[in-house]
Chains A and B, each alone.
Chain A
Amino acid sequence: MAPSSASPEPAAPRRTWLAVLVWLWVGLPFAYGLYELVLKATQLFTD
């Protein structure tokens, strides 16, 4: 691929569905871990 400054790139597929899928792939487990951690962290203020 030529440098973007040298020539315009051809119209490319947007791949929005792929972006959503892969961010969910990593985001959902991460959100689960974060949720569990926040539950634990609140013990500092409740006990």
Chain B
Amino acid sequence: MRSPQVPDGGLLSRSRTVAPAGWSRWLVPPAALSVHLSIGQAYAWSVFKPPLEKALGLSGTASALPFQLAIVMLGLSAAFGGTLVERKGPRWAMAVSLLCFASGFLLSALGAATEQFWLIVLGYGFVGGIGLGIGYISPVSTLIKWFPDRPGLATGIAIMGFGGGALIASPWSSQMLESFGADSAGIATAFLMHGLAYAVFMALGVLLVRVPADGWRPPGWTPPTEQRAMVSTAQVSARNALRTPQFWCLWVVLCMNVTAGIGILEKAAPMIRDFFADTSTPVSVSAAAGFVALLSLTNMGGRLVWSATSDAIGRKNMYRVYLGVGALLYLLIATTGGSSKPVFVLSALAILSFYGGGFSTAPAYLKDLFGTFQVGAIHGRLLTAWSTAGVLGPLIVNRVADSQEAAGRSGPGLYSLSLYIMMGLLVVGFVANECIRPVHPRFHEPATEGGAADASAGPANGTEAPDGSQQRLA
């Protein structure tokens, strides 16, 4: 079956974005990237914190509020707006994301100029946060439909862009603050420039994005006649997906993987310094910053490389690597990391690459389990696992580190317990991944006349699933 069509013929409607004959599918990833590279700026918010604290007399906790609200709104808008995004199409979603994200900056500029911090929280956090959530899920189902042969690669490119957004914004925002000044007027100008620049940059995505025509398939590609056991040809609605154990198992998998990754990210710089403080080769502050940068690089690279690899080895196997090998690496750091810098660094880099890969492989895993019908909306709901992990990860690591310090421990001993907890979380995720089986046919959407499901979803509609059924049984 297809996503419901929007009856009006508005410029942003799904029906106006159907690709003409011969449209290259390689024009779609840049559309997705223009959005993801922009909204990924959120992870560079810390650049604005010190100037805001100084200019508006804020505490560190207060200056983090706009970012925290933005992440909460990301999760909420992705979860609750996902179905609307599926119905209205990617151009509408990207336009909404552009409007919210850019106007969030403009409101923040007004807030900084008038020294009204609540306007910055409202603008960047609330309005901009909606732009983050809608923008994050906007290209997912479209990319999967354009790349039925390589969905992991396609979503990997887009989600890598979210990681890349901070790489661009961090030096760019810093240079802007240097040029305009770090007082309230300078911050306001910087916010204004961000809003305008991101609006122009994201406009490419709005104009360029196209959905494939009915029945489109990549030239020369035919759906595999023998399906993998974990790749369904049936379609499941977002509403039904929430009723399946598969969704919640994957929710646990993502939540555990993200929590464990944040465990390293949150404390990376102090961790590497504490681990080697009493050795003959202590780590300097700038070397620790280099380590954090290297972690960002592998976090981003893992999003592309591992997600593309999952096209070859399957999603379940890929998550076995993320969670199983990740747990072993945590064990390695906990037991031998303090005695060998290369072991510590390489293990941490691998864990961060698995953290990134976990994000980008999730949409393709959802597509395998639930089909392409409402995969964007289901993905939006799954992102609540990210929001949960965003609270859990730092909470565990910081609490444990504080308690170990209070107990008089130092060096690697400060982090041992945290590392074992992270390992345990990954084992929980591993078990949840093992519990994932093909979705029961009672949750499938009924096939309609003429092969209702998208041809791009895999084998022609109406063909049988591996379990021999596609029709709704209930």
Smallest distance from the beta carbon of B182 to chain A beta carbons, Å?
20
Give A27 to B33 CA distance when docked, in angstroms.
9
Specify the main secondary structure of chain A where it touches its partner: helix
Q: Which of B166, B171, B217, B290 contacts A4 (CB 8 A)?
A: B217
Interface residues on B, range: 35 or more
B22 is an interface residue with CB less than 8 A from chain A: yes
What is the bound-complex CA distance between A38 and B31, given in angstroms?
26
Specify which chain B residues have a CB less than 8 angstroms from the CB of A40 in the assembled complex. Answer: 289-290, 293
- B215 is contacted by which of A6, A38, A43 (Cβ under 8 Å)? A6
B167 at the interface (CB under 8 A from A): yes
With a cutoff of 8 Å between Cβ atoms, the chain A residues found around residue B22 in the complex are 9-13, 15
Cβ–Cβ contact B24 & A15, under 8 A: yes
The B159-197 residues at the A interface (CB cut-off 8 A) are 161, 164, 166-172
Chain B residues lying within 8 Å of A23, measured Cβ to Cβ, are 30
B204 touching A47, Cβ below 8 Å: no
Q: Is B335 among interface residues, defined by CB-CB distance under 8 A?
A: no
- Chain B residue with Cβ nearest A39: B293
- In the complex, chain A residues whose CB is within 8 Å of the CB of B332: none
CA distance A3 to B284 in the complex (A): 60
Across the interface, do B293 and A41 meet the contact criterion of CB distance under 8 Å? Answer: yes
Q: Which of B215, B286, B296 contacts A47 (CB 8 A)?
A: B286
Q: Are B297 and A19 in contact (CB under 8 A)?
A: no
B45 at the interface (CB under 8 A from A): no
- Which listed residue, A1, A6, A43, A45, touches B21 by the CB 8 Å rule? A1
The reply to whether A5 and B222 contact each other, CB–CB distance below 8 Å, is yes
Cβ-defined contact, B214 with A47, below 8 A: no
The answer on a CB contact under 8 Å between B294 and A44 is: yes
Measured in the bound complex, the distance between the Cα atoms of B202 and A22 in whole Å is: 12
Minimal beta-carbon separation of A16 from chain B (angstroms): 9
* Chain A count of residues within 8 A CB distance of the other chain: 34
Q: A18-B27, A25-B204, A43-B287 are in contact. Are A37 and B213 (CB under 8 A)?
A: no
> For B213, what are the chain A residues with a Cβ–Cβ distance below 8 Å?
1
B168 touches A41 (CB 8 A): no
A41–B294 CB distance below 8 A: yes
On whether the beta carbons of B291 and A4 are closer than 8 Å, the reply is no
| Distance between B340 CB and nearest chain A CB, rounded to angstroms | 15
- B20 near A: Cβ within 8 Å? yes
Whether A30 lies near B290 (C-beta < 8 A) is: no
Q: For the complex, what is the distance from the CA of A13 to the CA of B24, rounded to whole Å?
A: 10
When A4-B216, A19-B26, A45-B290 are in contact, do A37 and B21 touch as well, CB less than 8 Å? no
How many whole Å from A13's CB to the nearest CB in chain B?
6
What are the residues of chain A within 8 A of B291 when measuring CB–CB?
Answer: 44
Q: How far is the CA of A38 from the CA of B296 in the complex (A)?
A: 10
Which residues from B are CB-within-8-Å of A36?
A: 167, 170-171
State how many angstroms separate the Cβ of B330 from the closest Cβ of chain A: 21
B224 at the binding interface (Cβ < 8 Å): no
Alpha-carbon gap, A1 to B211, bound state (A)? 12
CB neighbours of A46 from chain B (8 A): 287, 290
Where the two chains meet, the residues of A that have a C-beta atom closer than 8 Å to any C-beta of B are 1-6, 9-13, 15, 18-19, 22-23, 25-26, 29-30, 32-34, 36-38, 40-47
B residues within 8 Å of A by Cβ?
A: 18-24, 26-27, 30-31, 33-34, 37, 161, 164, 166-172, 201, 204, 208, 213-217, 219, 222, 284, 286-291, 293-294, 296-297, 345, 455
